[in-house]
Amino acid sequence: MAETVVPGEDQEISRRIEETAQREDLGAVRSVYPVGNKPGSGVWAWVIFGGLVLAAVISGVTGAHSGTRHWGGFFGMFAVFAFIIASGTSLRGWWYNRKLAGGRLELRERGLVIGFRDRAVGLRYETVSVLQNLVRHTSNGVETGTSYTYTFTLPGQLVPVVIDHTFSGVQQWGPEIQQAIVNAQAPMVMARLRAGEKAEFGPFWISATEIGTSMNSAAWGEVKDMTIADGAVKIRSGRGPVNLRAKAIKEIPNFFVFRTLFEHLRQVHNPTAAG
């Protein structure tokens, strides 16, 4: 497959991504999400810092000569704050230039590639396990935004691959990845269940006839519904809750595969249950 060259993109990153995609047989590109905008340079913070330091020096010198109260300590205190802000902003800019600049996330037919200047990682939808953690942030009771973190683990690998809203368009690529994993894995897991196996999803397990946890279980015909609130899952059966305590979605690997199979098996065995 010929490599598509986009004007202005980092060719070394493109080469790594293409080599990884070919090696893992990930197929053609479906969508591309670059690293987000570069952080500000922080020049304004350094200018303020310099001005405050100069003001503190001048105030201290004039106060010492006149014998009057001066404002050197006041300016010095704010100069410290300005220095901390300027240093943090500059550090983020340095990290961006060294590690993130030019990086991108490519979603392909059979997997995804995460490419940076120093490395590229390929993950196949049919084998990867993903944990999703969405955190809504509030300030004074007002929602200020949501942070997204996706942790991918491959069979036999101890070190996970973590990506977040560093890549632009997280509200698009997150659901795209989840749906691609469902499409690839749900049929395979269903075939295993029909063969009499159990499938593990963190705190839950499912079989062709039951769903349960380490403490409790219920036949599919008894299962009423699954409710999701505050990022946690609760499953009820006719005999009471299957999980006595709500389980956090961030602890359920491939949650969307789990939910797809849950809805299918519940409908097959108990079509009159609440949705």
Closest CA relative to residue 111, chosen from 183, 159, 177 = 177
Q: Which residue's structure tokens are 């979603």?
A: 107
Q: Which residue's structure tokens are 């036999």?
A: 156
Q: State how far the Cα of 205 lies from the Cα of 11, in Å rounded to an integer.
A: 45
Mean pLDDT over 26-31 rounds to 96
**For the segment 181-237, what is each residue's pLDDT rounded down to a tens digit?**
999 999 999 999 999 999 999 999 999 999 999 999 999 999 999 999 989 999 999
Give the CA diameter of the chain.
92
Q: State how far the Cα of 247 lies from the Cα of 245, in Å rounded to an integer.
A: 6
* Residues 6+ away with beta carbon under 8 Å from 157: none
- Residue type at 91? L
pTM of the full structure: 0.75
**For the segment 113-148, what is each residue's pLDDT rounded down to a tens digit?**
998 877 899 999 999 999 999 887 766 667 667 888
Q: What percent of the chain has pLDDT over 90?
A: 51
Structure tokens at 82: 């300005």
> What is the model's pLDDT at position 273?
66
* Residues 6+ away with beta carbon under 8 Å from 63: 69, 70, 71, 72
Q: At what angle do helices 43-66 and 72-95 cross, to 10 degrees?
A: 160
Neighbours of 141 (CB within 10 A): 5
